[in-house]
């Protein structure tokens, strides 16, 4: 456990906060405040990836670069993966270490997505099909050690803006089979381009839907593809057409290969009890490090190593 914590604390973003925490040594809240202060948020225009386009950080949001975003997703929120992210935008009035929801940004170079089926999709029928496929999907998830995911319904029905080439919708999801756990909100935005789609996924809890919806308009218009990479720049003679259309994007099948966003994995929203359990463990470990070492006994044998939190 001590090696695990040392590895965790050795991260580039953890070390400044940890050092501050040792100095203050007051409470877990001090540590959380120090960790939050260590993040280097940005505003203004952000160039995404290898000249994919420009994100104009919406008013009321702050941007975290890919390295910091990966740290949040993997180390802080406890999810596998996180590589491949282009960063994340977080409401400026929320702390990523406490109560924040966020839009996580990726890019899928799947090809040019045809949108001629957009007006023909029956999303109620699609919901029924997604729910029917749950059993097979969940069998695989359970084999890999993850909880089952249940599609409760549309938190916001899919809508495609043909003029802006932007698709967005929200799923209400239940992790596991306990009715006592608050449902997870997965708000999806797809901005179509010449060679793929920019993906913004807002991961929150269902009660945060009004807050997400109140901020969705500036987010939808926050990104612009670079010259030559816009949807209108498509050249049928040289460009690849994606295997999926608008309906495929909403159904989510296209993301099954992505790993990171395959039905948002185990449960990307682990803020709350999960986060506090993590930092409580670190707090206990730090307190032991500031006290005189003692010899502890496990299973009848002497062991000078720190006990597990």
The pTM (predicted TM-score) of the whole model is 0.72
Counting the structural domains of the chain, the total is 1
Output the six-digit token pair for 205: 């809890």
What pLDDT does residue 28 have?
66
* Residue 305 phi, psi dihedral angles, 5° rounding: -75, 155
Beta bridge partners, 107, equal 198
Output the six-digit token pair for 145: 């050690």
Q: Three-class SS of residue 277? A: helix
Residue 83 lies in a domain: yes
pLDDT tens digits, residue range 37-81? 889 999 999 999 989 999 999 999 999 999 999 888 878 777 665
Residue 95 lies in a domain: yes
Residue 166 lies in a domain: yes
Residue 264 lies in a domain: yes
Residue 61 lies in a domain: yes
Residues 6 or more apart whose CB falls under 8 angstroms from that of 285 comprise: 1, 2, 5, 306, 309
> Tokens 């966003």 identify what position?
261
Contact 17, 31 (CB under 8 A): yes
Count of CB atoms situated within 10 Å of the CB of 158: 22
What pLDDT does residue 306 have?
30
What pLDDT does residue 179 have?
73
Domain of residue 142, CATH code: 3.40.1000
**How far is 168 from 159, CA to CA, in rounded Å?**
6
Residue 299 lies in a domain: no
What pLDDT does residue 79 have?
67
pLDDT tens digits, residue range 105-136? 999 999 999 999 999 999 999 999 888 888 88
- Domain of 88 in residue numbering reads as 43-269
- In this structure, is the dihedral angle defined by the CA atoms of residues 299, 302, 305 and 309, taken in order, positive or negative? positive
Residue 307 lies in a domain: no
Q: Classify 193 in phi/psi space as left (phi over 0), alpha (psi -120 to 50) or beta.
A: beta
Beta bridge partners, 199, equal 106, 190
What pLDDT does residue 64 have?
95
Output the six-digit token pair for 9: 């604390």
Contact 230, 193 (CB under 8 A): yes
Residue 91 lies in a domain: yes
> Tokens 């999810």 identify what position?
79
Q: Taking the C-alpha atoms of 17, 20, 26 and 28 in order, what is their torsion angle to the nearest 10 degrees?
A: 0
Listed as ranges, residues in the chain with pLDDT below 50 are: 1-25, 254-309
Output the six-digit token pair for 213: 């919806």
What pLDDT does residue 74 have?
79
- In this structure, is the dihedral angle defined by the CA atoms of residues 22, 28, 29 and 35, taken in order, positive or negative? positive
């Amino acid at each position: 456990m001590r090696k695990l914590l040392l590895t965790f604390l050795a991260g580039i973003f953890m070390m400044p906060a940890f050092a501050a925490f040792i100095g203050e040594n007051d409470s877990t809240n001090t540590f959380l405040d120090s960790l939050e202060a260590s993040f280097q948020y940005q505003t203004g225009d952000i160039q995404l990836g290898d000249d994919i386009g420009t994100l104009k950080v919406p008013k009321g949001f702050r941007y975290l670069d890919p390295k910091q975003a990966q740290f949040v997703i993997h180390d802080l929120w406890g999810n596998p993966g996180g590589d491949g992210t282009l960063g994340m935008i977080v409401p400026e009035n929320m702390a990523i270490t406490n109560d924040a929801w966020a839009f996580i940004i990726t890019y899928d170079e799947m090809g040019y997505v045809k949108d001629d089926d957009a007006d023909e999709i029956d999303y109620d029928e699609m919901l029924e099909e997604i729910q029917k496929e749950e059993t097979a999907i969940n069998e695989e998830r359970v084999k890999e050690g993850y909880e089952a995911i249940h599609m409760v319904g549309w938190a916001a029905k899919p809508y495609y803006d043909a003029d802006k080439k932007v698709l967005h919708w929200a799923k209400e999801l239940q992790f596991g089979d306990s009715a006592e756990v608050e449902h997870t909100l997965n708000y999806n935005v797809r901005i179509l381009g010449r060679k793929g789609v920019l993906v913004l996924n807002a991961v929150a809890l269902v009660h945060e839907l009004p807050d997400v919806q109140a901020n969705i308009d500036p987010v939808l218009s926050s990104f612009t593809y670079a010259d030559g990479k816009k949807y209108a720049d498509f050249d049928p003679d040289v460009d690849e057409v994606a295997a999926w259309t608008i309906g495929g994007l909403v159904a989510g099948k296209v993301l099954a290969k992505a790993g990171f966003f395959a039905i948002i994995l185990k449960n990307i929203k682990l803020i709350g009890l999960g986060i506090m359990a993590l930092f409580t463990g670190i707090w206990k470990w730090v307190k032991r490090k500031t006290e005189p070492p003692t010899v502890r006994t496990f299973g009848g044998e002497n062991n000078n190593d720190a006990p597990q939190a």
